[in-house]
Structure 1
Amino acid sequence: MRASSLAISIVCGPVVCCYVVFAACFCPGRLQRHTESDDKKRFERRQKVAPRPLPIRPPERCLTLPACLSEKAARSATAPKGKTFEQTQSRLLQLPLELRRMIYREVLGDKTMHIVLKENRLGHLRCKAPSSIECPLGYNGRSLSRECCWGTVDSANIWCPRNGERKRTDGDILPFLQSCRQIYSESIDTLYSTNTFSFSDLDCLRYFSCTILPSRFALITMLDVEWCMSWPIYDTTAQNLLLTNPALYPPNDEATWEATWRIIADMPSLKFIRASLLYFDGFRDTACESKMLAPLFSVTKPDKENFEVHVSWGGDEFPDAPFTLLRPMVRDTLSSDDEAW
Structure 2
Amino acid sequence: MRRDTTVTALRPADHVIVDADGVEHGYDRLLLATGSRPRTLPGFDGPGVHMLRTLDNALVLREKLTEGSRVVIVGSGWIGCEVASAARAHVTMVDPVPLPLRNVLGDRVGSVFRDLHADHGVTLRLGVRARGTRADGRAVLLEDGGELPADVVVVGAGAVPRTELAEAAGLDLAAGGIAVDAALRTSAPDVYAAGDVAAHDHPRHEGRVRVEHWSNAKDQGTHVAGNLLGGHDAYGADPYFFSDQYDLGCEYRGLADPAHDELVLRGDPDSREFLAFWLRDGRVTAALNVNLWDHGDALTALVGTRARVSARQLAEADLNTLTTAGAADRR
Q: TM-score, normalising length from structure 1? A: 0.25
Larger radius of gyration: 1
Whichever structure has more strand as a proportion of its residues is 2
- TM-score relative to the length of structure 2: 0.25
